[in-house]
Each structure stands twice: as C-alpha cells, then as structure tokens.
Amino acid sequence: MPSYDDAHDEPRATPAAGTVTALEPQKKNANRLSVFIDGVFSFGIEQDVLLDHPIARGSELGEEAIRRILEDDARLRARRFTIAYLARRARTEHEVRDALRQRDFAGEVVDHAIERLKNL
C-alpha cells in the first residue's frame, strides 16, 4: 500500500532503504517516534507499531519492510481515530468512512478499519 501525502491524494514514494541510525520521540506527539535512516529523518510511526516491527538503532530496513511498517502505522492510526470518533456518539458506516477519507487515509486503510469495527 502506498503512503499518501497529507495535502493530496497522490501516492508518496516509500522512504529509501538503509540503516536505522536513530529513533526519537516526536516533539508534538510523544506517542510517535521519528525514524532516521542513514542520519536523515525518514518517517514517523506510533510507538505501538514497534510491537509488530521491532526495529532499533542499527536495524537494516528494506523498502518492503518500510512499506509494511507504514501500512501498519496507518491502520493503527485509523483504528484509534474511529474509536475516538465513535466514543462521542453512534455513527453510521458512511459517516465513519467519510471521516477517515477526510483525514486522508487510503482506501485500503479505511476498508480495514471498517472491517475491524464490524468484527468487534
């Protein structure tokens, strides 16, 4: 699944493969980590993503591994959003889908979040 630019619905290139040189908490959201590859910021992820993708300083990440990490991060963020969104009041599936799309989640991520909610 491609990453999506926050301002556009166009796929972004997967960050370049390489060696993880740092994992740092983000300044605005301590629950997210900035991942630096070969000394350059590459992407941000939720800390919980590390449970399924245990990466650390010195880890080698290929493009496929990065793609899977970013996909799992998007799915986690979508699930968290839907839980908070539904906690305020009951919503229709259509409302939830629209809210996720307005936040620029990719179609596959939206479908996954909806299916997960239905299963719960």
pLDDT digits (tens, 9 = 90+) for 8-52: 344 457 788 999 999 999 999 989 999 999 999 999 999 999 999
Global pTM value:
0.80
Q: How far is CA 14 from CA 21, 34, 41, 66, 72, in A?
A: 18, 15, 13, 7, 14
| CA 74/CA 68 separation, integer angstroms | 10
pLDDT value of position 12: 58
DSSP 3-state assignment of 106?
Answer: coil
Determine how β-strand 18-25 pairs with β-strand 11-12.
unpaired
Per-residue pLDDT tens over the stretch 65-112 = 999 999 999 999 999 999 999 999 999 999 999 999 999 999 999 999
